[in-house]
Amino acid sequence: MIKRFTIRRLGPADLERILEIEAASFGREAWDRNLFAEYSRTCGDLFLVAEEGPRNICGYMITCTRGGRRRGQAELVSVAVDPRARGRGAASALMESTLRRLRRRAITRLSLMVKTTNGAARAFYEKYGFRKVRRVPRYYEDGADAWLLKKGTDAFF
C-alpha cells in the first residue's frame, strides 16, 4: 500500500497554512494566530501536520501532555482537515501517528471535547476507542454543549 500522507511536527513556515485550514473548517469560531503560536510553544512535539504530497499540508492535530499528578495523561486539543481534503484519511493518519507517539511516551490516557451535535467527529473518535464520560453544558463559546471523551488504559492501544 502506498503511503498517502506524511505526518510531521509543525514547522515555523506552516502557521499560515494552519490558519487557512482553521478558517475553512471553523469559520467565525476559528482560533487566532496567537493561540496557535502558544500551542506550538507548549505542545510543539505533538502539534502534527498531515501532508499529501510535498509541502501540501491538508490537516493538523494538536495534543498536549500533562505533568504533575496527571502524568501519563494527554488531551487532544484540536484537529482539522481542509474541507477539500476530507474523506481521504488525513485525520486517521494524524490520529494513528499521535497514538504511536503517545505510546512511546508511556501516556495511558487521552481525553478530548467534542460538540454533542458533531456526529461525524464522535463516530471518528469512537472508531479509535474513545468513550463518552460526561456531557459538559455550554462548553463552547457559542453556548453549545460538549461530550468529554476518554480513551484509557485498558483500550488505549
Looking at the fold, whether 103 and 120 belong to one and the same domain comes out as no
Picking from 95, 83, 106, 104, the residue whose alpha carbon sits closest to that of residue 129 is: 95
Looking at the fold, whether 39 and 103 belong to one and the same domain comes out as yes
Looking at the fold, whether 12 and 28 belong to one and the same domain comes out as yes
pLDDT of residue 3: 66
- Burial class of residue 120, CB neighbours in 10 A (0-12, 13-18, 19+): exposed
Looking at the fold, whether 132 and 80 belong to one and the same domain comes out as no
Helices 33-43 and 15-26 sit at what angle, rounded to 10 degrees?
Answer: 120
Q: How far apart are CA 18 and CA 116, in angstroms?
A: 25
pLDDT of residue 72: 84
> Which residue numbers in the chain have pLDDT < 70?
1-3, 67-70, 153-157
pLDDT of residue 66: 78
Cell numbers linked to 47: 502539534
Looking at the fold, whether 101 and 131 belong to one and the same domain comes out as no
Do β-strands 73-81 and 109-115 pair in parallel, antiparallel, or remain unpaired? parallel
Looking at the fold, whether 116 and 75 belong to one and the same domain comes out as no
Which residues are bridge partners to 75 per DSSP?
A: 64, 111
Q: 3-state class of 126 per DSSP?
A: helix
Looking at the fold, whether 135 and 84 belong to one and the same domain comes out as no
pLDDT of residue 89: 95
State the residue range of the domain holding 127: 112-157
Number of domains composing the chain: 2
